[in-house]
Each structure stands twice: as C-alpha cells, then as structure tokens.
Amino acid sequence: MTDSRAKALGGLLARQGILVAFVLFMVGFALWNPRFIGIDNVFGVIRSSAILGVMALGVTFVVIGGNLDLSVGSMMSFSAIVVLDLHENPAFGPALAIPAMFAMTMALGALIGFLVGYLKLNSLIVTLGMLSAIHGLTLAYSGGQNMDIANQQATWFGVFGRGTVAGVPIPVLMFGGLALILAVILAKTPFGRKVYAVGGNGTAATFSGIPRARVVFMTYLISSFCVATAGLIQASRTMGAQNTVGQGMELEVLAAVILGGASLLGGSGTVFKTVIGVLILGFIQNGLLLAGLQFYAQFVVTWVIIILAVWLDIAAKRGRLWSPIA
C-alpha cells in the first residue's frame, strides 16, 4: 500500500473509527446468524433502543458542553409516572397530560441548568444529588404506587409507543426525527458552535463573548426535553409504569454517548456518532441473545465489545494501538 493510500485509510479510521467498528460488528453477527440483519429484527432492535437513544441525544449536548447529567434515569421515571397519572385525571386527559408533563420535566432540567450554569456548581455532584431527589419526588408524587391506564382501548395515548407509520414503528420515527433536528442544531447553528466552544475551553469562550452560563443552561433544557420524550414513549408503550422504570439508565445513556466518541472533557462529539453508540449497544444485546448466550454472560461480553470498540476508535485517532507514553 502506498503512503498516500495508507494516510487516507488512517484518516478515514481517525474520523470514523467507531463507525468502522459498528460495521465490522454487524457483519460478524450477520455471518453468525442471518436473522440478525432481517428487517423485522432490525426494526425491533431500533424500536427497543429508542428510549435509550432519545435520552442519549440530549445528554450528548450536555457532555459536549463539558458537563455530566446523571439524573436522566430518575427524571425519565418521573416523566412516565406524571403523564400516566395526569392521563387518568378527568381534568387533564391525554391532550393536556402530555404538555403538562413536558413542562414539569423541563422545569427540573431548568433547575439543574441554573445550578450548573449560573451558580457554577459541579455537574457531577449536582446531577448525582438530583438523581436521588427526583427519585424521592417521584415516590412522593405517586405515593409509592405504580401507575396504569385503566381503559387502554379507549385512548389514543398508545400511538407514541405502539403505533406505526407505513410499517415503521413510531418510536423509531421519533428517535430518527429528533436525532436529525438536534444534529442540525449542533452542527449548523451558532448555538451548536457555542456548545463546542464552551465545552472545549469555557474560559476562552467567556472572554470571546459567549454567554457560557446560558449555553450550559440550554444544554440541560434540551436534555430534559429529550428525557420527557423518552418518558412519553415508555409510558405509551406499556400503558403503565413502575416508579423506578428509569433506574440505572443514566449509566447506559452515558455509555452510549461515550461509545459514540464524545469526550468526557467536553468539546467533541456528534449526534450521528451518539446514534451509532446507541445502536451498537442495542445490537450487541440482540446479537448475543440470538447467539444463545445466557443473560449474565451477555453483560461480560457486552463490556468486552464496548472496550474493544472504544480502543479501536482511540487507536485510529492516535495512529497506534498503544499509547506512546506506555
């Protein structure tokens, strides 16, 4: 291979290493089991990954902006419980329950954004505390009870989680549509460039006239909007929810974002690669299930594949498998 071709290949791997890993992974499992790439299986995996994916889209903005959000799991539980409860309230019904739930969820996001953005508190500490606080709020709101829709046949609420358009599940369309909108916002708008600037070097961004606090505040508002959307899909899919339905999902969401190439230090990442990270997690679990592995073995194999995929991405960017410092 000539030097020019080698450099071109190296450049491609540096830019799209995680995508290459995803393609290799898909080909490997497809050779193992042809059912893996069947249209029904593909749509099924994406549909089951939609809730995690929608949440990850919002957290991508937060991470690129140089912060963390560990409250999204508890917040999703809160969203699902609230929308189901208001749905059963005769004064609301589904038409009013949905916007009311979005308003309440985004109010929580605004509170976090205010604490991290304007008061400049540590995002890890704030969101870790909010994880417990929102969980407590959910239990207080629900009285410790799970929520269900009594007459499921008499409501159109199930369309968000169970409906289809031209054979495509609506959760897949919601995930894809929101990903497209947020990708344009992040890559093509002045606000998106400000998010990268604040995450890359907050001090320099401030001296450049970028309102750092406002940008951070908006990233948490976007994240809470995505969480509310995920809560809507979850509640609509099952027409009921436990008050711990989102517990632990914050770690899966963060894993998908980081797997997609976003840096925990901020300033790098894309919505497209986050979608790839979500799909990798979803298809890993599905592929291992089709391979017949026990569920406890799937956790270990999933971890190994994630480490290998991230290693490939990092190695491609630095041009070698091992760190030059080692």
CA distance 34 to 47: 20
Contact 141, 267 (CB under 8 A): no
| pLDDT for 323 | 61
Give the least confident one: 19-23, 74-78, 224-228.
Answer: 19-23
- CA-wise closest residue to 58 among 234, 221, 211, 297: 221
**DSSP symbols for 171-186:** HHHHHHHHHHHHHHHH
Burial-class residue 200 by CB neighbours within 10 Å (0-12, 13-18, 19+): middle
Q: What is the dihedral of CA 305, 310, 314, 317, to 10 degrees?
A: 90
Q: Residues of the chain with pLDDT > 90: what percent?
A: 56
Of the two residues 84 and 261, the one the predictor is more confident about is 84
- CA-wise closest residue to 56 among 273, 238, 300, 204: 273
Q: 10 Å Cβ neighbour count for 31? A: 10
Between strands 147-148 and 164-165, the pairing is unpaired
pTM of the predicted model as reported, rounded to 2 decimal places: 0.88
The phi and psi torsions of 98 (rounded to 5 degrees) equal -65, -55
CA distance 141 to 312: 45
Find the helix packing angle between 39-64 and 72-88, rounded to 10°.
Answer: 110
b/e sequence 119-141, b meaning 16+ C-beta within 10 Å: eeeebeebbeebbeebbebbbeb
Of the two residues 317 and 63, the one the predictor is more confident about is 63
Q: Where are the beta strands (DSSP E) in the chain?
A: 147-148, 164-165, 168-169, 240-241
Sign for the pseudo-dihedral over CA of 97, 236, 70, 116: negative
Task: Quote the tokens at residue 221.
Answer: 């508002």
Task: Quote the tokens at residue 214.
Answer: 């406002």
- Give tens-digit pLDDT for 169-211: 999 999 999 999 999 999 999 999 999 999 999 989 999 999 9
- Give 305's pLDDT tier (boundaries 50, 70, 90): low
Burial-class residue 102 by CB neighbours within 10 Å (0-12, 13-18, 19+): buried
**DSSP secondary-structure letter at 147?**
E
| pLDDT for 309 | 61
| pLDDT for 32 | 78
- Give 248's pLDDT tier (boundaries 50, 70, 90): confident
